[in-house]
C-alpha cells in the first residue's frame, strides 16, 4: 500500500475534521444564535451550603447571576446569553413590588426587540405565584420561562444547572412562543397557570394537578403535548406598567371550628379582597362565613378557593347570594394574584367572576 507524504496526510486530516464538523448538527447553528436574557431573583438555585452533602440547610440567594451562568456548561451553544440581577432573595421574601418590578423589566426588554426570550431564575417556594403574575402581565408572545432548583448550587447532584440549561433551551426555541409563561424543573415543562409546588423537598415537586405538564425538555429538545386554553400574556387585559403597588389581598385558611377572628382582623386592616381557602368544594365554617358575609357587604371581594389542591370550586345559589366569587380551579395562592390584578380594574363581583373564569 502506498504511504502518504506529510502534506498529503495533513490534507486528509483536515478533510476528515471538516467532514466530522459538518455531520455533527448539535455543534453547528444555522444563522445567528437567539438572544436570551436571564433575570435572577435568587432562591436555592443561587444557594450555597457549607458542604456538598448539605442539601436542605443552606443560604438561598447567595450567588450572583454571573457565577450561576458560568456553572452551566453548553449555554453558549444554545443562545447569546446575558444576565441581570433583579433581586437575590429567598422567595418566601417575595413582595408585590418585586413582582411588579420584574414584569416591568421583562416587558421593557421584550419590547426593544433585542431579546428573543427571557429566563427567570427564582426560589421555588413562591415560584408559581410570580410565574402566574407574569403570565397575566407580560404583553408579549416571546418565550418567558421560569426556573429554579431544589438543591443548592454546592450540593451533590445539584439540579440547578440542568434546570437552567433546559430553561434556556425553551427560551431560545420558537416553539415556545405564544404558550404563556412556562415553568421548567426536573425536565418537565408546565404552564404558569396550572403549576404548583407539591412536595417540600423532592426535586420532582412541580406538578399541574388534574391537567398534567405541557411537555418535557430532553437533551436540548423541547417536546410539547398540550396548549393552555386560558387567556394569558399578549391577550391579557391587565397592565402592570403604571402600577406602583397592588390592592391588598390576603388568604385565610379554612378549617373545622373556624372563627371570625382572622376575617375581622382582615377587615380592620383595610384589605380589599379575601381568598378563603375553603374545605372541599370551597366550604366555609358557619362563624367564619358570617364574618365573610359582613365583609362582602362592606365592599371587600371574597373569593372561595379550595385547600384540597385540585378541582374546580363551583358556584352555589347560597354563596352567590352573598356575592362570593369562586376561584374556578385556581389554588388559593394563584387566586390571590388574580384577585389583586382584578381589583386594579373593578370591584364588580360579576366582572371579577368573569376574570376568574377566563384567566
Ligand atoms: N427557600 C427557597 C426559595 O424559595 C427554596 C427554593 O428555592 O427551592 O427561595
pLDDT tens for each residue of 250-266: 999 999 999 999 999 99
- Position 122 pLDDT exceeds 70: yes
Answer yes or no: is 21 within a domain: no
**Active-site residue 44, yes or no?**
yes
> How many whole angstroms separate alpha carbon 294 and alpha carbon 299?
9
307 and 226 assigned to the same domain: no
45 and 83 assigned to the same domain: yes
230 and 255 assigned to the same domain: no
C-beta of 91 in contact with ligand 1 (< 6 A) = yes
C-beta of 123 in contact with ligand 1 (< 6 A) = yes
Q: What is the pLDDT of residue 5?
A: 52
Sheet holding 215-218, edge to edge: 80-89, 35-42, 117-121, 144-147, 182-185, 188-191, 215-218, 221-224
Atom in ligand 1 nearest the alpha carbon of residue 90: 9
Between the CA of 75 and the centroid of ligand 1 the distance, in Å, is: 23
Between the CA of 28 and the centroid of ligand 1 the distance, in Å, is: 36
284 and 195 assigned to the same domain: no
Between the CA of 90 and the centroid of ligand 1 the distance, in Å, is: 6
Q: What is the pLDDT of residue 30?
A: 66
Question: Read out DSSP for 109-173?
Answer: HHHHTS-SEEEEE--STTHHHHHHHHHHH----S-EEEE--SS-TTSTT-SHHHHHHHHHHHHT-
C-beta of 160 in contact with ligand 1 (< 6 A) = no
- Position 338 pLDDT exceeds 60: yes
226 and 336 assigned to the same domain: no
C-beta of 282 in contact with ligand 1 (< 6 A) = no
Q: What is the mean pLDDT of residues 219-226?
A: 98
Between the CA of 57 and the centroid of ligand 1 the distance, in Å, is: 11
Answer yes or no: is 2 within a domain: no
Domain boundary among 201, 235, 269: 235
pLDDT tens for each residue of 50-76: 999 999 999 999 999 999 999 999 999
Q: What is the pLDDT of residue 94?
A: 98
Q: What is the pLDDT of residue 8?
A: 52
Q: Name the band, by pLDDT with cuts 50, 70 and 90, for residue 248.
A: very high
Q: Vertex 240, ends 239 and 243: CA angle to 5°?
A: 120
C-beta of 60 in contact with ligand 1 (< 6 A) = yes
106 and 180 assigned to the same domain: yes
169 and 55 assigned to the same domain: yes
Domain boundary among 235, 262, 283: 235
Query: How would you class 5 by CB atoms within 10 Å of its CB: exposed for 0-12, middle for 13-18, buried for 19 or more?
Result: exposed
Answer yes or no: is 242 within a domain: no
C-beta of 90 in contact with ligand 1 (< 6 A) = yes
Q: What is the pLDDT of residue 85?
A: 98
Question: Read out DSSP for 11-59?
Answer: HHHHHHHHHHHHT-GGG--SSSPPEEEEEEEESGGG-B-SSTT-SSSSB
C-beta of 145 in contact with ligand 1 (< 6 A) = no
Answer yes or no: is 3 within a domain: no
For position 344, which CATH number holds? 3.40.50.40
Between the CA of 63 and the centroid of ligand 1 the distance, in Å, is: 13
Q: What is the pLDDT of residue 113?
A: 87
C-beta of 148 in contact with ligand 1 (< 6 A) = yes
311 and 164 assigned to the same domain: no
Atom in ligand 1 nearest the alpha carbon of residue 44: 7
C-beta of 125 in contact with ligand 1 (< 6 A) = yes
- Position 151 pLDDT exceeds 60: yes
Q: Which domain holds residue 329?
A: 249-358
Answer yes or no: is 7 within a domain: no
Share of residues in the chain with pLDDT > 70 (%) = 92
For position 72, which CATH number holds? 3.40.50.1170
Q: What is the mean pLDDT of residues 198-211?
A: 97
Between the CA of 43 and the centroid of ligand 1 the distance, in Å, is: 4
Beta-bridged to residue 224, according to DSSP, are 215
Share of residues in the chain with pLDDT > 90 (%) = 91
117 and 264 assigned to the same domain: no
Q: What is the pLDDT of residue 31?
A: 81
Atom in ligand 1 nearest the alpha carbon of residue 42: 9
Mean pLDDT of the chain: 93
Answer yes or no: is 127 within a domain: yes
Task: Look at ligand 1, atom 7, and give the residue with the nearest C-alpha.
Answer: 123
256 and 193 assigned to the same domain: no
Answer yes or no: is 17 within a domain: no
Give 4's DSSP letter: P
Answer yes or no: is 244 within a domain: no
Domain boundary among 172, 202, 235: 235
Supply 248's cell numbers.
391588598
Q: What is the mean pLDDT of residues 30-38?
A: 92
Residue among 44, 54, 121 to mutate when testing ligand 1 (max atoms within 8 A of CB): 44
Instruction: Tell me the whole-structure pTM to 2 decimals.
Output: 0.91
Number of domains present in the structure of the chain: 2
195 and 317 assigned to the same domain: no
Candidates 28, 44, 137, 200; catalytic one:
44
193 and 143 assigned to the same domain: yes
Amino acid at each position: 500500500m502506498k504511504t502518504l507524504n506529510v502534506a498529503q496526510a495533513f490534507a486528509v486530516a483536515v478533510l476528515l475534521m471538516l467532514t466530522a464538523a459538518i455531520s455533527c448538527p448539535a455543534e453547528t447553528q444555522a444563522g445567528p444564535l437567539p438572544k436570551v436574557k436571564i433575570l435572577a431573583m435568587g432562591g436555592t438555585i443561587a444557594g450555597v451550603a457549607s458542604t456538598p452533602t448539605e442539601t436542605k440547610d443552606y443560604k438561598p440567594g447567595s450567588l450572583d447571576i454571573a457565577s450561576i451562568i458560568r456553572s452551566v456548561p453548553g449555554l453558549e451553544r444554545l443562545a447569546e446569553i446575558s444576565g441581570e440581577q433583579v433581586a437575590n432573595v429567598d422567595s418566601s421574601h417575595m413582595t408585590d413590588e418585586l413582582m411588579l418590578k420584574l414584569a416591568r423589566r421583562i416587558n421593557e426588554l421584550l419590547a426593544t426587540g433585542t431579546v428573543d426570550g427571557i429566563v427567570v431564575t427564582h426560589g421555588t417556594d413562591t415560584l408559581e405565584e410570580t410565574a402566574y403574575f407574569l403570565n397575566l402581565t407580560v404583553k408579549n408572545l416571546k418565550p418567558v420561562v421560569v426556573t429554579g432548583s431544589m438543591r443548592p448550587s454546592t450540593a451533590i447532584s445539584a439540579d440547578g444547572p440542568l434546570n437552567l440549561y433546559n430553561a434556556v433551551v425553551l427560551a431560545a426555541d420558537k416553539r415556545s412562543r405564544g404558550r404563556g409563561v412556562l415553568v421548567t424543573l426536573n425536565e418537565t415543562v408546565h404552564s404558569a397557570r396550572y403549576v404548583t409546588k407539591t412536595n417540600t423537598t423532592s426535586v420532582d415537586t412541580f406538578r399541574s394537578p388534574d391537567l398534567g405538564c405541557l411537555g418535557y425538555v430532553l437533551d436540548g429538545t423541547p417536546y410539547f403535548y398540550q396548549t393552555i386554553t386560558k387567556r394569558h400574556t399578549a391577550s391579557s387585559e391587565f397592565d402592570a406598567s403604571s402600577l406602583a403597588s397592588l390592592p391588598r389581598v390576603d388568604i385565610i385558611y379554612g378549617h373545622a371550628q373556624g372563627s371570625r377572628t382572622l376575617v375581622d382582623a382582615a377587615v380592620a386592616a383595610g384589605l380589599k379582597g379575601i381568598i378563603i381557602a375553603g374545605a372541599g368544594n370551597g366550604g366555609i365554617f358557619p362563624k367564619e362565613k358570617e364574618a365573610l358575609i359582613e365583609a362582602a357587604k362592606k365592599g371587600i371581594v371574597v373569593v372561595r378557593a379550595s385547600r384540597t389542591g385540585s378541582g374546580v370550586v363551583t358556584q352555589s345559589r347560597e354563596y352567590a347570594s352573598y356575592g362570593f366569587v369562586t376561584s374556578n380551579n385556581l389554588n388559593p395562592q394563584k387566586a390571590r394574584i388574580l384577585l389583586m390584578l382584578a381589583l386594579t380594574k373593578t370591584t364588580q363581583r360579576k366582572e371579577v367572576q368573569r376574570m376568574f373564569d377566563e384567566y
